[in-house]
Structure 1
Amino acid sequence: MKTVTVKHSWFSESDLRLDASFHLSDGVNTKRIIEKHCPYPTTTLRDEANELFKGNIHKRVYIGSAEYGNMFFTASDMFKSDVDSGRYISKKYSPYLEELELKKDWILVTRSGTLGKVVYVTEDYDGKIGTDDLVRIKPAENQIKRGYLYAYLSSKYGYGLLTQSGYGGVVKHIEPHHVENIKVPILPDPEQDKIHKLILDAATLRVESNKIMKEVQNDLRKKCGLEQLSLEDYEYYGYHSPKRTARAFGVKKTNKLSISLKAFNHSKSLNQIREKLMMNVNTISLKEAIDNKGIYHSSAFKRVEVEKGVELLSQKDIFKYKIQGKRISRMYPKKKDYAIRNEILISGVGSMGEGDAFCKVILVKDSVEGKVLAGEFLRMNAKKIPYGYLFSWLNSEYVFRFLRSYGTGTTLIRPIEVFIEEIPVPIFDDDFMKSIHKRTNLALDKFELSRKKDTEAINLIEKEIEQWQES
């Protein structure tokens, strides 16, 4: 139980609020720390922003591709490690696109639902369209650096200040004018510069990582003799052009997929791509490319949440830039439930929405290794070929569509594993596969270093504020 002795002056400063939750909140506590213990001058968010706004509420007219649309990001999309949201809104029929456009080096704050989460806009998001559910901060850098401002707002102290003014019942909201008076300590230049550089380095590394991964995918596609997929090459849920004709085709009893009656599992266009791949290059099945454990899952175990313990990662957690799961007791997970370095994970349950993580792939590195994995992941380890190469192939747009075409279920879809085991894996000379492997690991190592620098910058601020309270 948390308690605090309330001073008479606190009532007048809080419009005579009597609810204990307000006076015990992290935001109010942070205000007191800054006012009483901060040894430095302060500025406000309003004084450090050239502009502080949320963008206009607008009608979203979704379309199928980038030809007539702009990529659109919801608030949750901005926290994913993948810079492709899978959503496009019409350039012609969507109003206020200019006001909703994101720019490099802005700072974004979620303002609806899950409040107070902070994003630094990298080059990859420049010019893309963001939801109105994001407060946009254009840093002015009058007395504080933009990287330092981002790290401060991202810290647990900044989070408390951002969320304390939330209003609403079931769905909470904050508005730009609610946060404009947030006080920001003006740390000495050396400390600010160190934090600022860490955040800028993190942003640069993230962009470099994404660039390498795109280059790897392009090289792999060309080596396989395949073209980039178009909307006509696969079935999908969501917006369809009125010109798109209904598809009908027969399936032979001898077809390996004949054990399924779901038409979605028998995509004729994807089967043609699969056949073209197998004609162009030598292939083996995925089952042949992985070790004798085959495709496996974590066990079912009791989840008892605790303050400390081991971190449990779900699909919701693992595809975010900042990976953070729940803490559970170590008593119940088994040894096989812990993530092993360089194993490949496929998101094994979800919906068919284009922005959903279902069938996305991840390679276990520093931020996931040793943590407990929820049972919905399909797990595997490479055997005959380099794991980085196998991951890159499974991470390609072709395999993503193959995986999604082999699903069963209605609201929640799960892949049919016997079909997945037959997915073809192209085999090339050792030099090419090792090159893909090496570049893939380089990209993922840069991404991991980006995460570490981002975390280090935030930790520096939190330790600084903790020192004030101890002195």
Structure 2
Amino acid sequence: MKVAEQGNPARRRWLDAQGLRLDAKPYLSGAFVMRRLLERLPVEKTPLKEVTAGHAGGIFNGPKFRRVYVTDPEYGVPFVGSKDMQLADFTNLPLLRKADAESTQLSYLKLKPGMTLISCSGFNAGRRAYVRPDMGGFWSSQDVLKVEPNPDRIAFGYLHAFLASRFGEVLVKESIYGSSVKHIEPHHIENIPVPRFGAAEEKEIHELVQEAAELRAAYQRGLTEATRDLFTTAGLEDLLDLKWHEQGRDLGFAQSGVSATTLRALNFQPRARRILERLASVEHVTLGEVCEGGRLRTGARFKRIDADPAHGVRLIGQRQAFWVRPEGRWISPERAPEDVMQRNETVLVAAHGTLGENEVYGRSILVTGSWLRHAFSQDFLRVLSGDADIPGAYLFAFFRADAAFRIIRSMSVGGKQQEYHTELVRKIPIPLVATSDRKRIAESVREAYRRRDEADCKEDAALAKLEEAVVLHTGATTG
């Protein structure tokens, strides 16, 4: 149980400041300590609502509305919810019907680069994200607060850095209310005091945040181009736009040559079989052959032993593996199996889950760069190439494609919780292009991940500069 510090008990005037809220969280969250620290800053502090502009003053969410999703990008717009805003790769976002999105009722929910998004409903309430340049045509749900900076009053990146910092986090999360379903409303955060350190310092922080956003947009473009390059070079352009849902449901089909390997109808799904036949029609090698001498299996189950971050590793699960900056519990690596840590360019495929369109089951990530220091749960299929001529970066360009996602899902076994069929997965055809083409495609993926790591470093530098400014002006510590 968390209790108040003896030297800093909750005070009567704090209750007045919180509208006489009697739940303990606002008084034990550290928010009042943080406010006192900010009050000590000998610089101007501006309420958040005075540095925003736009719809409803620049701090708004939206109305509840009936969501109609489409599958054709011509008739839809990418739609971001409170979980999707955390994603690193926006390729597979659901599409909200464009006619609804552009209507008078919802048009203002269109995102603008430079906004800060704050999840305002549900378990993840209070998380923040920056709207990157490539998110300009996205729409957001009512579960996401939009904070639109006024460019005449504050630099976009600086405001985001403050809200994303430990100071902003505490002040935003103190506003959360509710029991099972958490909420934040615009008026709860409009008076957050934003410290002003002068144009030069704020500009430096802004530029770091903006550079990070541009690098993440470049990461997204690099991965998309690498996948397109692979399928185009292999002569499989038709698999880049499957129009999966327009092919009709797989009903009333017959299958001959059934063996004891599997009797499940999903494993003979005609739409997926057509993809497999198309992949096998070009020069290829099976996934089992590629991973000979490498690794092709899910991880070992194990008991998690929590550890201090100084002596542990962050354990990443299926959902958070797809986030820009993952969160996860810290565990002792000495008390975990060897395969929680991954070798460079291991492709991890989410291997347990359900068949919902927006579920991560069947989606893939690449472990390289800074992510090699993380541990990963047993719920991933580890795909490690044993052939130096077919590197993991090249495999990832294939696995992130919708065609690979569909055939992996067709190889499911299980009841409510699905997992892959080991023998069927080993037979997946991996298209082979010329060695020089494979090197080019793999290097495109590697460059994309280098940009992602550089973006993380710039974002960390921006937050560090902001905290240094607070320490410099107050003489306090932020630890």
TM-score by length of 1: 0.91
Aligned partner (choices 337, 354, 358) of residue 355 of structure 1? 358
List runs of 5+ in structure 1 lacking aligned partners.
235-239
Q: Tell me, in whole angstroms, the C-alpha distance in 2 between the residues paired with 1:382 and 1:141.
A: 49
Residue number in structure 2 paired with 1:175 = 185
Query: More displaced, 333-342 or 312-321?
Result: 333-342
Alignment of 1:275-290 (within 5 A): 275-279=277-281, 281-290=282-291
How far does residue 291 in structure 1 lie from its aligned partner after superposition?
Answer: 3.5
Instruction: Choose which of 337, 342, 352 in structure 1 pairs with 2:340.
Output: 337
Match of residue 417 from structure 2: 412
C-alpha deviation, 1:10, in angstroms: 3.7
Q: Give the secondary structure class of the aligned counterpart of 1:261.
A: coil
CA distance in 2, matches of 1:19, 1:129: 34
SS of 1:49 mapped into structure 2: coil
Q: 1:11 to 1:171 in 2, by over 3 A?
A: closer
CA distance in 2, matches of 1:184, 1:69: 37
Mapped partners of 1:380, 1:245: distance in 2: 30
- Counterpart of 1:218 (choices 200, 210, 228) is 228
User: Hey, what's the Cα distance between the residues in 1 that align with 2:12 and 2:93?
Assistant: 53
In structure 2, runs of 5+ residues without a counterpart are none
Which of 364, 372, 376 lines up with 1:373 in the alignment?
376
The answer (yes or no) to whether the contact 1:310–1:327 under 8 Å persists in 2 is: yes
The reply on whether 1:26 has 2:30 as its aligned counterpart is: yes
Contact 2:234 2:433 (8 Å CA) reproduced: no
Shift of 1:378: 0.8
Q: Which amino acid aligns with 1:58?
A: F
Deviates more, 1:126-135 or 1:259-268: 259-268
1:145 aligned to 2:155? yes
Q: Distance in 2 between matches of 1:76 and 1:351?
A: 17
Within 1, Cα distance between the matches of 2:25 and 2:272? Answer: 56
Q: Deviations over 1:108-165 (max 9, x none)?
A: 1111112221111112221222101111121113443110110110112101111212
- Report how far residue 230 of structure 1 moved: 8.4
Deviation by residue 1:45-75 (Cα, 9 ceiling, x = unmatched): 1011012211222111223332332222211
Contact 1:64 1:231 in 2 (8 A): no
Taking the TM superposition and a 5 Å limit, the aligned residue runs for 1:61-76 are: 61-76=68-83
In structure 2, the CA distance between the partners of 1:110 and 1:16, relative to structure 1 (3 Å rule), is: closer
Q: Amino acid of the residue matched to residue 267 of structure 1? A: Q
Residue from 385, 400, 403 that aligns with 2:405: 400
Q: 1:410: how far off?
A: 3.1
After superposition, the Cα gap between the structure-2 partners of 1:429 and 1:19, relative to the gap in structure 1 and judged at 3 Å, is closer
Greater mean deviation of Cα atoms: 411-420 or 302-311: 302-311
CA distance, structure 2, for counterparts of residue 284 and residue 158 of structure 1: 51
Measured in 1, the distance between the counterparts of 2:337 and 2:249 equals 50
After superposing the two structures, state which structure 1 stretch, 145-154 or 325-334, moved more.
325-334
1:33, CA displacement in angstroms?
A: 1.1
Aligned 1:127-166 pairs, distance under 5 A: 127-166=137-176
Cα distance in 2, alignment partners of residues 17 and 248 from structure 1: 60
Distance change (3 Å), C-alpha of 1:115 and 1:269 = closer
- Specify the alignment match of 2:95 in structure 1: 88
1:322 aligns with 2:328: no
Greater alpha carbon shift after TM alignment, 399-408 vs 299-308: 299-308
> Pairwise CA RMSD of aligned residues?
2.4
Paired amino acid for 1:275: E
CA distance in 2, matches of 1:375, 1:448: 25
Equivalent pairs, count: 461
Q: Deviations over 1:248-294 (max 9, x none)?
A: 22212256xx6222222112232223223322x21110011124243
Residue 89 of structure 1 deviates from its aligned partner by: 2.3
Tell me how far 1:209 sits from its aligned partner.
Answer: 1.5
User: Given the superposition, is the C-alpha separation of residues 399 and 180 from structure 1 closer, same or farther in structure 2, using an over 3 Å criterion?
Assistant: same
1:466: Cα distance to partner?
4.6
Query: What code does the residue aligned with 2:413 have?
Result: T
Letter in 2 for 1:273: I
Name the residue aligned to 1:237: none
| Structure 2 residue aligned with 1:313 | 316
Structure 2 residue matching 1:112: 3-state secondary structure: coil
Deviation per CA, 1:214-257, whole angstroms, max 9, x where unpaired? 222222121222234488765xxxxx67x9466322212256xx
Corresponding position of 1:104: 113
Separation in 2 of the partners of 1:397 and 1:21?
44
User: Which SS does the other structure have where 1:311 is aligned?
Assistant: strand
Distance 1:229 1:57, change over 3 A: farther
Moved more, 146-155 or 365-374: 365-374
How far off is 1:11 after superposition?
4.6
For 1:213 and 1:8, the matched residues in 2 are separated by 55
Letter in 2 for 1:88: L
The percentage of aligned residue pairs carrying the same residue is 29
Once the two structures are TM-superposed, the CA of residue 426 in structure 1 deviates from its matched residue by 1.4
TM-score (norm 2): 0.89
SS in 1 for 2:9: coil
2:79 is paired with a residue whose SS is: strand
Match of residue 292 from structure 1? 293
Alignment CA distance shift 1:145-1:421 (3 Å): same
**Aligned position for 2:394:** 389
Q: 1:93 to 1:187 in 2, by over 3 A?
A: closer
What is the correspondence of 1:43-54 to structure 2 with a 5 Å cutoff?
43-50=46-53, 51-54=58-61
Preserved contact between residue 26 and residue 157 of structure 1 (Cα < 8 Å): no
Provide, for residues 386-421 of structure 1, a one-character-per-residue CA deviation record: whole Å limited to 9, x for no partner: 222122122222211111111112322111121111
Instruction: Measure how far apart 1:83 and its partner are.
Output: 0.9
Tell me how far 1:424 sits from its aligned partner: 0.5
